[in-house]
A and B are shown apart, each in its own frame.
Chain A
């Protein structure tokens, strides 16, 4: 349950096959845009964010993490009507942060993953909020209870998604 410090030599680095690398983020983005009209509550979840965190913590490569996050974010942006780069920036930061933290911490157990997801969900929202307000000029209201509850909901879903990702990741 506790997040323990692990030396770089102890952590295991995983990789994903090319089909998994391409199809899993695409599926996440697809489900993210396809499900909400049918199940409105699904807007609370952020599948692309969870996949970014899952990939980043498994690979433990900041470079790969930030690029994966950036690409997924830009793909998400392209499907909205907002400027491209809003989510790209926030997911780039999350990808970099999650993979950097994955090197330092043991993120293999469910408790650590749960807390990490809440943390990175909030980081993602803060970065998004800052860019959206500061650069794009969107009028956004920060709502702590909403963000925190959404973070918990995403963390719960995230734990299951990371379990699924565990099945497709390969030890290097």
Chain B
């Protein structure tokens, strides 16, 4: 008894440590996928996030009042609108660039399923995990707003992470530079695929690229869509270093396009639609038609020139029909369908400007070639 009293502190220490180690062992053994959110997490998040929301709201309101009414009122509002427009256009640019590249490579394979972002929700970052070892954020949208686990979180600059835990009015987002995250990625030009992982130091590396491949520094890394979370073709970042790794794979470091340490607002991809190109849409599509449609049109000749030129039929036969003839118009239409059906991001993403989800009409991508007879038509955007 005396011994127990003498070593009471030590015994309690060992007991508390043992209990925690036991708890850890149970958590580690249980598969994370089936793990329900623990009550203690709900309590902790419930205790902390309301205050965070209030502070963010106060800060935002104060900032809005100052910027909108006292300091450059009109210019600020205009600037905000322009930034939102830039965000939308940046996303659209990525999508269109991808669509154009893929359309060239896969003209004959239009039966692929396409994925496109059809709905996003703007959310504000209210807090973090507060630890260098756990790189995650809290956003002010949760289950009540339609957020679900494993939804992709992006910004106009690039991808951010995925929704990990969802609470009633907040969600935890796992960043792509956390070591437990994994994103299917593809190099833009070489089309090499790999897995994007975070490191304990908060860096992002592209794994599983064979060491006999060449990866230039500066090449863009995009999502491959293979993870089932991020749609294909979203910008991840750029390669900053590529060298021989320890095994058969290259050691590729990637700088994320989105500044993960300074995130204020993000977009949660709440809906990704898939659709398959219909056979009748793609059946008539021939590579030659698409290519012909891409060629600049030849201006139609003046009537008098046609009348007077006896050799005209031969030369007019030689010119591409893509622009001015009915057949070429069909070709252009087919090209438009082809562009619309090409796999890729096809993201009609538009950044939400408020708290409401922003729906984007699932209209096809802008036509590659407009079937106007003249003047020569602009080529597809790059």
Contact = CB atoms under 8 A, between A and B. Distances in A.
Interface of A: 26, 29-30, 32-34, 36-37, 40, 43, 62-63, 66-67, 70, 74-76, 78-89, 92-93, 96, 100, 128, 131-132, 135-141, 143
B180 A81 contact: yes
Interface of B: 8-9, 12-13, 16-17, 20-21, 23-25, 27-28, 38, 40-41, 43-45, 47-48, 51-52, 55, 125-134, 136-138, 164-165, 172, 174, 178-180, 199-201, 261-264
A136 B24 contact: yes
A137 B25 CA distance: 11
B131 A96 contact: no
A53 to B, nearest CB: 16
A78 B44 contact: yes
A26 B125 CA distance: 20
Contacts, number: 140
A162 to B, nearest CB: 20
B343 to A, nearest CB: 32
B43 A79 contact: no
Given A62-B9, A70-B20, A143-B201, A78 B40 contact: yes
B201 A33 contact: no
Contact of B133 (A29, A85, A93, A138): A138
Contacts of A81: 129, 134, 136, 164-165, 172, 174, 178, 180
B200 A140 contact: yes
A67 B20 CA distance: 12
Given A29-B48, A96-B13, A83 B27 contact: yes
Contacts of A139: 179, 199-200
Nearest to A45: B130
Contact of A138 (B13, B25, B45, B179): B179
A76 B172 contact: no
Contacts of B52: 30, 33-34
Given A33-B52, A79-B130, A89-B24, A66 B125 contact: no
18 contacts: A33-B52, A33-B127, A33-B128, A36-B128, A37-B127, A40-B261, A43-B132, A62-B13, A70-B20, A75-B44, A76-B131, A79-B48, A80-B129, A80-B131, A83-B23, A96-B9, A136-B28, A139-B200
A26 B44 CA distance: 10
A83 B28 contact: yes
Contact of A66 (B12, B165, B172, B174): B12
Contacts of B201: 141, 143
Which of A32, A36, A70, A92 is the most central at the interface, judged by chain B CB atoms within 10 Å of its CB? A36
Contacts of A138: 133, 179-180, 200
A78 B38 contact: yes
A79 B40 CA distance: 9
B21 A89 contact: yes
Contacts of B48: 29-30, 33, 79
Contact of B24 (A32, A75, A131, A141): A131
B20 A92 contact: yes
Contacts of A136: 24, 28
Contact of A76 (B47, B130, B174, B180): B130
- For the complex of A and B, the 6 pairs showing the least CB-CB separation, nearest first, are A78-B44, A80-B134, A32-B130, A33-B130, A40-B261, A83-B27
A79 to B, nearest CB: 5
